[in-house]
Structure 1
Amino acid sequence: MHVPDGFINAPVSVAAGAVAATAVAVSLRGARRELDERTAPLAGLVAAFIFAVQMLNFPVAAGTSGHLLGGALAAILVGPYTGVLCVSVVLLMQGILFADGGLTALGVNISTMAVVTVVVAYAVFRGLLKVLPAGRRSVTVAAFAGALLSVPGAAVMFTLFYALGGTTDVAIGKVFTAMVGVHVLIGIGEAVITAATVGAVIAVRPDLVHGARGLAAPLKLRVDGRLVDAPAAAAAPAPAAARSTRPLWISGLVTALVLAGFVSYYASSSPDGLEKVAADQGIDAKAREHAAAGSPLADYSVKDVSDARLSGGLAGIIGVGVTVVVGTGIFWSVRRRRAEDLTATATAAPSAH
């Protein structure tokens, strides 16, 4: 759903940029409460994983494909504020390095793909957890529902931007129907990917999943062929701070590299939902060439590398590497700022006499 330059006029693009900048500023402050020494590097990994999976377009209808937006996944894994930042980092890397998503439309894309998806998904996720039985399965079900609804939510937001500042004369009703219709289907794919990923992380490290904090399944022991609850002393887990996140980080990074470097070659080549709707409805009549169209990595291929498989794979690996480095750097800086704030507060506290 990367909006290119030229779909939305300058005034609305500027306004969307202001909205996105405000959301990012609020998220930077909010992320200080979500990130700690364990989750800061994992947030960078989440951003890199989203980048990788976004390269895997999957078919959803005749001549149309979809890809992960990632807002729901990021919000549930690392928190809503950090989730907005994760997707924003991905969009920034894609726009600057890969000419994917217009630079003048960056505010539109962040507002649509980062802010709206996170807000919708996390609201649905938290609402369902209040009524579902406590347990890992409920977290996965709530993640599925939140992700499913976040994608058409983003489509509605794009339609609103188009209604306010579309550069072509297309009936808003047609845009709304086409966008929501195809993105409901894409939402199913988003929901499957999100639920599967959240479920996999919960299975090995539920303490690192923001949306599953406080979730503790009793340890089971097999006695005479039957599973029974372990005694309290045996069931007590090791302190979360004492458990290394390195195995999860390494396995997640390797997975992202494999997806972007190898599996992406087999992704659907059909236009994604927005591209298809734009072509069918004439929304793309005034689309402009991307300012970074001459980039060495434009269109997710390495310039001057003739082999398509090698070119795309190298671009994907570079993208994952750059995203994890930039993302981790940002999240460590946010974490460090929180530590500085806590130190300053403790120092400024009046001593008792």
Structure 2
Amino acid sequence: MRDSEFETGPGPIAGDLLGWYDVHARDLPWRVSPAARAAGVRPDPYRVWLSEVMLQQTTVAAVRDYFHRFTTLWPDVNALAAAEDGAVMGEWAGLGYYARARNLLKCARFVADELDGRFPEHHDALLELPGVGPYTAAAISAIAFDRPETVMDGNVERVMARLHDIHTPLPAAKPELKAQAAALTPGTRPGDYAQAVMDLGATICTPKSPACGICPLRSPCRARAAGTAPELPKKTPKKPKPTRRGIVYLAQRDDGAVLLERRPDKGLLGGMLGWPGSDWSEAPEEKPPFAADWVTLPAEVRHTFTHFHLILTIKCAPLPEGVLPELGQVIPRAMFRPGDLPTVMRKAYDLWRDGTA
């Protein structure tokens, strides 16, 4: 239950926050400014959807350039739906969480083929789209269609925890935080309001050293009054991440052609190009793509995924003419773009290049 002093509609808290947002809204390439929105400019649901998928567990700074490239190459959902899988996966390389890119294509094709290129407006209908979960559905419905949905990301959770001085640790606190956020969501300008709360968390109510002195919600903020803001939201300690190992095999022909493989669609780095390699486990088994005197580089790749740390051993050998590898495809030098590799595979390439230069 919410506290009675907190308003349900466009009351003092929502009004103060919207007033602050009108002046301090971040300039983002996928956003319609509050002034433009007031003048009647409506957000493009395609750009809202694309940005929200890209921003999942990724920073605004990292997403900007990717968003510009995607919207230049594929300016609408029909263009993206018609794109080749490899081209999209290549442009996504380095952004991480590659299942998002696969779902991006599935969703674009569903919208183009089944919905005549139009994104649905309502939260429940948006949930039917491939790869669209509760957060993304709420964000599209609120931001693109100005519906009063409760948009919950880490920034909003932090603002709510501090505003109400909630000490229940995450993730157990999520239902309570969402209830408080829902109680404050106004029926007036809900899309701007959703972005205002996220902007507040990203720029003022930050994880460390929140700028409480200039916060538009400093008066009603209970954690500021109690002096507990810096320690909120509390989180349940995470279990230590395990470490896995693997082997990658880098082979290059005299003319510069390299041997790559397309990883299976399911699993980590699904659908991405990478170096042939072993499984990733505590004791990976050798799995060279062809018989050769493989040389082990002294440097190892170290990379962290969401649930584990990875250490990759790099083995190299010349790629003979006419070799028939057990897996993989020979990519001519002119067609090989290291930037199309996912980050962990590009790290291996960089170490190999530096070690053979």
Please state which band the TM-score falls in when normalised by the shorter chain.
under 0.3
* Structure with the higher helix share, 1 or 2: 1
TM-score (norm 1): 0.26
Higher gyration radius (CA): 2
Q: Which has the higher relative contact order, 1 or 2, with Cα contacts under 8 A spaced 6 or more apart?
A: 1
* Structure with the higher strand share, 1 or 2: 2
